[in-house]
């Protein structure tokens, strides 16, 4: 094993560590290793690594940390409360060095944000294998993880933070758009025009909700306790307007509801305070949901003065957790009460209901079903049965024209898909490029392979100026086991079976992906999910075309297999129609 690639860059040995305690305690961050220049993805066609595959991993790691993209740059937090790109700045430097030295037939191993080995493998093997936050099941608790995190032995990778394929808020936007489109189709005659959605959270993921609602022509009131995040989302274009206070917010909601105009309003406040106030006023929302970071109690902001509660998180984490849980229970109860009052309620997946249940609140009926459903079982699962999910690509050149050229190719490849055309039209008009230019698009089994080859051909012909990195969210059709979110309420009761994401990661390695990751706890917290990620780089070569065929068939195919096995007739029909081999199925 070549050790040289893993050596730490030379430093002044007399440097004093600036590692400041983070929210969870005193994890070492090694600020003396923080680069003097702010980390941003390199653009253009000049390589610093020995292959485009390693260069792509490096640029996407850098892109995750770009302050325009990341949540808390100094702590390497990308999104989702504490989802990191690397364990600390020292390990970031080691990863960068290893990627630059990586030979075309070597694979770097990353254990919870730390490069721990370089193996000689094959040119067609993954260049990077990543495992984040994984614990033996009986030890897979937030408390045990937090102790390891404080010692600098682990990090929380969320989903795409620790697997280096985050593309800012756009990454979840189309899935959120698809969800609200499904809500509109089922409950409001196909449009959200004339409706008001009330939600909470304006972080990297939750910030997609207001734009997704307005792209479906609805009004969205979103509550966020940190005022700067409200302002940031207005600056980015994901939010239309900031309200002065609740009265002003409701005036705006009614104004735009009456006009049947899509518009989003951000309100600085706490959902646990504001939602009960809306109920007390008798305010009638049409839809209520949430996407605050509730998977870790240290990431949910409890009621109270924001400066005071953030100081409490530093000084007394246990008391902060107690107050956070109390606020979560108020927040969750208010959603249930708004549903009782006539609103369509849905959970958007950061374990708010699960935390409230741990606090002793009744969140399920006599049959064990949640009192209000998660977005996947309620609206998205039919798409998963078809192998559909959040497929994404980014331009390693940094040139937005490359993405626009691929947009044109996408519409030419699927000319009869009117929903896809509508999405691209709205995305080009409303979605800003943040960091490396990127696009997300829900494509299914057969479609991903077809379009991956189109992208590779564009690279080969020079119609885009550098290779394109292709990946997806971990929230995909066949890559996650998450009983309180993606696999909630499975038809056969297999909600907690984690074999599927493990098989997904193994299958992507076997098929020739360029980097593969396997994480614990993304979206819903440690111990509550297992999920895998996949990335492959379209370099324009015939060899890469063969790997793209296999990877982009295998990966969504896992979704068809998983849902067919669970007894979903739609998935079984898709398998028969499209030639997915399932032993034992007639």
Strand partners, 472: 391
The CATH topology of domain 382-578 is Urocanase fold (3.40.1770)
Ligand-binding site membership of 140 (annotated):
no
Ligand-binding site membership of 62 (annotated):
no
pLDDT for 169: 81
Ligand-binding site membership of 295 (annotated):
yes
CA-closest candidate to residue 143, choices 310, 318, 309, 26: 318
Ligand-binding site membership of 294 (annotated):
yes
Tokens 């795409």 belong to 160
Please state the domain extents for the chain. Answer: 41-132, 169-373, 382-578
Ligand-binding site membership of 156 (annotated):
no
Ligand-binding site membership of 291 (annotated):
yes
Q: Do domains 169-373 and 382-578 have the same CATH topology?
A: no
Active-site amino acid positions: 441
Is the Cβ–Cβ distance between 166 and 472 less than 8 Å? no
pLDDT for 388: 94
Q: How far apart are the C-alpha atoms of 558 and 556, rounded to whole Å? A: 5
pLDDT for 237: 87
> With helix as H, strand as E and coil as C, how does 493-541 read?
CCCCCCHHHHHHHHHHHHHCCCEEEEEECCCCCCCCCEEEEEEEEECCC
pLDDT for 18: 35
Ligand-binding site membership of 265 (annotated):
no
Contacts of 223 (CB under 8 A, 6+ apart): 198, 199, 200, 201, 267, 269, 270, 271, 274, 275
What does pLDDT average to in each consecutive run of 10 residues of the chain (586 residues)?
Answer: 39 33 65 97 98 98 96 93 95 98 98 98 98 98 95 96 93 87 95 97 84 95 95 92 97 97 97 98 96 88 94 94 96 97 92 93 93 92 94 97 98 94 91 94 95 98 98 95 93 97 98 98 94 98 98 97 97 96 90
Is the Cβ–Cβ distance between 393 and 438 less than 8 Å? yes
pLDDT for 569: 97
pLDDT for 523: 87
pLDDT for 481: 97
Ligand-binding site membership of 523 (annotated):
yes
pTM: predicted TM-score of the whole model, two decimal places? 0.88
pLDDT for 527: 96
The CATH topology of domain 169-373 is Rossmann fold (3.40.50)
């Amino acid at each position: 094993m070549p050790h040289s690639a893993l050596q730490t860059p030379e430093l002044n040995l007399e440097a004093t560590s600036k590692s400041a305690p983070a929210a969870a305690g005193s994890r070492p961050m090694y600020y003396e290793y923080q680069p003097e220049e702010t980390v941003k993805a390199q653009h253009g066609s000049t390589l610093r690594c020995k292959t485009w595959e390693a260069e792509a991993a490096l640029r996407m790691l850098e892109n995750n940390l770009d302050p325009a993209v990341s949540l808390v740059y100094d702590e390497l937090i990308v999104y989702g409360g504490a989802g990191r790109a690397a364990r600390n700045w020292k390990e970031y430097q080691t990863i960068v060095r290893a990627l630059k030295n990586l030979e075309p037939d070597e694979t770097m191993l990353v254990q919870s944000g730390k490069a721990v080995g370089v193996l000689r493998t094959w040119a067609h093997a993954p260049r990077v294998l990543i495992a984040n936050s994984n614990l033996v099941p009986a030890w897979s608790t937030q408390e045990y993880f937090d102790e390891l995190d404080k010692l600098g032995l682990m990090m929380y990778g969320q989903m795409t933070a620790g697997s280096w394929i985050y593309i800012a808020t756009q990454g979840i936007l189309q899935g959120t758009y698809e969800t609200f489109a499904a809500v509109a189709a089922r409950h409001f005659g196909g449009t959200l025009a004339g409706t008001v959605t009330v939600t909470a959270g304006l972080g990297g993921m939750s910030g997609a909700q207001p734009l997704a609602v307005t792209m479906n022509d609805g009004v969205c009131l979103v509550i966020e306790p940190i005022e700067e995040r409200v302002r940031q989302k207005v600056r980015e274009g994901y939010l239309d307007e900031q309200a002065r206070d609740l009265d002003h917010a409701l005036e705006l909601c009614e104004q735009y509801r009456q006009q049947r105009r899509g518009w989003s309003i951000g309100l600085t406040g706490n959902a646990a305070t504001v939602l009960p106030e809306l109920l007390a006023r008798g305010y009638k929302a049409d839809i209520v949901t949430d996407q605050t970071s509730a998977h870790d109690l240290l990431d949910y902001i409890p009621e109270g003065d924001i400066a005071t509660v953030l100081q409490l998180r530093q000084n007394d984490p246990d008391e902060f957790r107690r107050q956070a849980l109390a606020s979560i229970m108020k927040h969750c109860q208010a959603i249930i009460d708004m549903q009782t009052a006539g609103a369509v309620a849905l959970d958007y997946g950061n374990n708010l209901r699960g935390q409230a249940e741990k606090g002793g609140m009744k969140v399920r009926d006599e049959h064990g079903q949640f009192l209000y459903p998660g977005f996947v079982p309620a609206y998205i699962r039919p798409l998963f049965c078809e192998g559909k999910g959040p497929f994404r690509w980014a331009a390693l050149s940094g040139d937005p024209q490359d993405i626009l050229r691929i947009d044109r190719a996408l519409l030419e490849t699927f000319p009869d898909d009117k929903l896809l055309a509508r999405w691209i039209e709205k995305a080009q008009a409303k979605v800003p490029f943040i960091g490396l230019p990127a696009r997300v698009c829900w494509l299914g089994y057969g479609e991903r392979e077809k379009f991956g080859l189109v992208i590779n051909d564009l690279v080969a012909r020079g119609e885009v100026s550098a290779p394109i990195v292709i990946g997806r969210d971990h929230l995909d059709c066949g890559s996650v086991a998450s009983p309180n979110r993606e696999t909630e309420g499975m038809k056969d009761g297999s909600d907690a079976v984690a074999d599927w994401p493990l098989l997904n990661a193994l299958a992507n390695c076997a098929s020739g992906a360029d980097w593969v990751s396997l994480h614990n706890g993304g979206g819903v917290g440690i111990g509550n999910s297992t999920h895998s990620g996949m990335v492959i780089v379209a370099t324009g070569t015939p060899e890469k075309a063969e790997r793209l065929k296999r990877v982009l068939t295998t990966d969504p195919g896992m979704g068809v297999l998983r849902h067919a096995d669970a007894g979903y007739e739609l998935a079984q029909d898709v398998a028969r129609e499209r030639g997915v081999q399932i032993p034992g199925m007639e």
